[in-house]
């Protein structure tokens, strides 16, 4: 039996485009010039907080409630804003981005035809991840969807994967392959757990 654990962002769904479109709307709303430098500033601040969260030094709630405060301060935003409200708005826009990576649907269809047992293992929030997965049309390929917010642990923590293994019947780790684009949260944890790994080429399945 082949058991595949699929990451979602930039593995099956184009997160970069979803983020680009969401930031475009946020920048317009809060009168921020939309240019490469300002996008890079947001990305730097956001990624720094996500790294703290992945190392369990920052809670998800703290991350989501403060990331736009960090970013807007770095961007010298002058209009009034509530960082929690900004993040709520951003996550709404992000949840609407469900464009697939090239050939992702064909890959999943082919694997389903071969009776592969497939699951989603993804970092993120329910209100963003689930709409993107369902609206993209790929949800029927998966037996179960494991999202870090719902699991209560973040990839690449072992607690996250322990939860996944506990919820897959007759789980034998030797039968698992983890598929993702991230060296830290997909490939290296696969090595640590003695799983097979399959790295992806960003934005394209060939």
Six-digit token string for 29: 């709303």
CA 122, CA 154: separation in Å to the nearest integer?
Answer: 9
Distances from the Cα of 38 to the Cα of 8, 108, 186, 203, angstroms: 26, 36, 29, 23
Residue 113's closest CA among 2, 197, 199? 2
CA 40, CA 45: separation in Å to the nearest integer?
Answer: 9
State the number of CA atoms in the 13 A half-sphere of 145 facing the CB: 19
Annotated active-site residue in 7, 9, 87, 181: 7
Tell me which DSSP letter residue 190 carries.
H
Q: How far apart are the first and last CA of the chain?
A: 23
Peptide bond into 196 cis (omega under 30): no
Active site residue 88: no
Contact 88, 67 (CB under 8 A): no
Active-site amino acid positions: 7
């Amino acid at each position: 039996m082949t058991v595949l654990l699929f990451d979602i962002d930039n593995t099956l769904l184009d997160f970069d485009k979803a983020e680009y479109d969401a930031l475009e709307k946020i920048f317009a709303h809060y009168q921020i010039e939309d240019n490469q430098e300002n996008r890079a500033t947001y990305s730097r601040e956001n990624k720094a907080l996500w790294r703290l969260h992945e190392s369990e030094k920052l809670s998800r709630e703290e991350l989501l409630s403060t990331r736009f405060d960090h970013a807007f301060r770095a961007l010298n935003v002058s209009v009034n804003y509530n960082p929690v409200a900004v993040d709520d708005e951003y996550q709404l826009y992000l949840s609407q981005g469900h464009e697939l990576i090239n050939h992702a649907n064909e890959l999943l269809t082919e694997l389903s035809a071969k009776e592969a047992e497939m699951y989603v293992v993804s970092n993120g929030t329910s209100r963003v991840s689930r709409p993107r997965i369902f609206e993209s049309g790929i949800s029927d390929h998966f037996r179960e969807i494991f999202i870090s917010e719902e699991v209560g642990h973040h990839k690449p923590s072992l607690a996250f994967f322990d939860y996944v293994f506990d919820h897959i019947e007759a789980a034998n780790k030797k039968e698992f392959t983890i598929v993702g684009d991230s060296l830290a949260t997909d490939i290296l944890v696969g090595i640590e757990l003695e799983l097979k790994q399959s790295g992806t080429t960003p934005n394209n399945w060939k």
